[in-house]
Amino acid sequence: MNYATQMDAARKGIITPQMVTVAQKEQMTPEALRELIAAGQVIIPANKNHKNLDAEGVGQGLRTKINVNLGISKDCPDVDLEMDKVKMALAMKAEAIMDLSCYGKTRDFRRKLVDLSPAMIGTVPIYDAVGFYDKDLKDLTADEIFEVVERHCDDGVDFLTIHAGINRGAAEKIKRRERITNIVSRGGSLMFTWMALNDRENPFYEYYDRLLDICRAYDVSLSLGDGCRPGCLHDATDACQVEELITLGELTRKAWEKDVQVMIEGPGHMALNEIAGNMMLEKRLCHGAPFYVLGPIVTDVAPGYDHITSAIGGAVAAANGADFLCYVTPAEHLRLPDLEDMKEGIIAARIAAHAADIAKGIPGARRWDDTMAQARADLDWEKMLGLAMDPDKARRYRESSQPEQEDSCTMCGKMCAVRNMNRVLAGKDIQLND
């Protein structure tokens, strides 16, 4: 049977090969997964031109996925370094990579990325449009913007971040300057600027059906960007953010009418006590569509440690319904991350995602921890190191400080509680002072 998109197939009762792959990974039946996709509560970003994709699902009842941002810029145009970052992201099991390139031979990099990566690939076409046409932003036409969108789809990108919700109505609220940080979304600010300079409506909003037709043709999922996301705690859950979310809910329904898969991007900075409410609000206003959160960063005062502030927020967000976490590195707000920054950001995001999966009762999530607990109870150091989320770092720490007793560590030595309890319960003597 023929189908246009994963959602189209699901609604026709068709189980696609991608659904089979995802169902196996998620320990669920393909039929149960198909029903969730048909309802828009799960998406499988899977461009028809991404031939080596190892499909992943995002949404209700599935493992929380993480995304890694990278890409070349005018200040940091080193393509080889960015490809090294791609390889690290894949080695560290990121399920998605977003190419945010905005300078130079972006198409060459994007095509290499798609060819190399079994992970799903996302882009933000408006970033690429200015450099591709070598024009000022105000001189870009709507047709040129959509040509870049189609080029990204043709290159095999699985999902696009499109800031269609920041329309002229939302822009008027921003102009009232009730926020401290105004717009911090790069894509949102570009669309705001284009509208202001041209005195026109956002072309992604005005010609949304055209966008949907392109996505349907390639089976590209839409990540509806939150152009009005808060850039500081003060701006969280304000009228700009909520009004845009209402608009994104309306755009979600329109996308579903054309069988285009959708996820919603969520808040950036937000106090800890606001996160659960925001997750519920998104799910209600956007009809249960998967939620992709950028953080949330839970305090504004820790530059250099925002992989931690975002992991705290991400764990709470995912435990309360968010489905997809964008990693944040220690370099956030400061500079382009290097390889070590990337690694710390990925691990922090994976910790947050896994902690949330335990809370959500995702099949198999708790088993990993229980297996580690048993290895610790058995003082099986090799098994503990093998089970670690970052085995290399765990082994490096272990080997850097050798204990007198091989079954302990240098924190407690012979006073190790686990070691002594094992010996006492086995009827053995304990000598602490010899």
Average pLDDT score over the chain: 95
Q: Are residues 151 and 262 in the same domain?
A: yes
Total number of domains constituting the chain: 3
pLDDT, tens digit (0-9, with 9 covering 90-100), for 415-432: 888 988 888 898 988 887
Beta bridge partners of 68: 97
Which one, of 378, 264, 254, 277, lies nearest residue 323 by Cα?
264
Q: Is the pLDDT of residue 1 over 80?
A: no
CB atoms under 10 Å from CB of 330, counted, come to 22
What stretches of 315-359 adopt beta strand conformation (E)? Answer: 324-326
- Residue 259 domain-assigned (yes or no): yes
Whether 309 is covered by a domain: the verdict is: yes
pLDDT at 434: 59
Q: Is 321 annotated as a binding residue?
A: no
In a domain, 23, yes or no: yes
Residue 283 to residue 299: CA distance in whole angstroms: 24
Q: Is 287 annotated as a binding residue?
A: no
Q: Classify residue 1: in a domain, yes or no.
A: no
Confirm or deny that 269 is annotated as ligand binding. yes
Instruction: Let me know: does 329 contact 345? Beta carbons within 8 Å.
Output: yes
Domain identity same for 22 and 115: yes
Residue 63: both structure tokens together:
């493992």
Known binding residue 185? Answer is: yes
333 is in an annotated binding site: yes
- Alpha-carbon span 167 to 323, nearest angstrom: 26
- Check whether residue 131 and residue 97 sit in a common domain: yes
Q: Answer whether 317's CB lies under 8 Å from 293's CB.
A: yes
pLDDT exceeds cutoff 80 at 433: no
Instruction: Compute CA 194 distance to the chain's CA centroid, rounded to the nearest angstrom.
Output: 27
Give domain status of residue 179, yes or no: yes
The verdict on whether residue 354 carries a ligand-binding annotation is no
- Identify the residue whose tokens are 């102009």: 175
CATH number, position 231: 3.20.20.540
What tokens appear for 230 in the block?
Answer: 């808060």
Instruction: Write the pLDDT tens digit of every residue in 12-70.
Output: 999 999 999 999 999 999 999 999 999 999 999 999 999 999 999 999 999 999 999 99
Per-residue pLDDT at 130: 84
Per the annotation, does 416 bind a ligand?
yes
228 is in an annotated binding site: yes
pLDDT at 351: 98
372 annotated among ligand-binding-site residues? no
Judgement on whether residues 229 and 344 belong to the same structural domain of the protein: yes
Report how far apart, in Å, the C-alpha atoms of 354 and of each of 87, 224, 351, 363, 420 are.
Answer: 22, 25, 5, 12, 31
The answer on whether 127 is annotated among ligand-binding residues is: yes
Q: Is 98 annotated as a binding residue?
A: yes
**Are residues 373 and 388 both part of a single domain?**
yes
SS3 assignment, position 384: helix
Please report, rounded to a whole number, the percentage of residues in the chain having pLDDT higher than 70: 99
Is 210 annotated as ligand-binding?
no
pLDDT in tens, 162-192: 999 999 998 888 888 789 999 999 999 999 9
The answer to whether residues 244 and 190 belong to one domain is yes
Mean pLDDT, residues 294-298 taken together: 95
pLDDT digits (tens, 9 = 90+) for 312-338: 999 999 999 999 999 999 999 999 999
Label residue 308 by pLDDT band (50, 70, 90).
Answer: very high
Q: Specify the residue for token string 């041209």.
A: 198
User: Containing domain of residue 354, as a range?
Assistant: 6-360
Tell whether 408 is covered by a domain.
yes
- Same domain, yes or no, for 136 and 89? yes
pLDDT at 126 over 80: yes
Torsion angles phi and psi, residue 291, rounded to 5? -115, 130
Portion of the chain with pLDDT greater than 90, in percent: 85
At residue 161, the pLDDT reads: 98
Q: Is 279 annotated as a binding residue?
A: no
> pLDDT tens digit string along 401-415?
988 878 888 888 888
Same-domain check for residues 112 and 195: yes
Residues 383 and 413 in one domain: no
Would you say residue 253 lies in a domain? yes
| Whether residue 374 is found in the same domain as residue 235 | no
* Same domain flag for 414 and 379: no
Judgement on whether residues 248 and 211 belong to the same structural domain of the protein: yes
Residue 184 domain flag: yes
Paired with 293 in beta bridges are 325
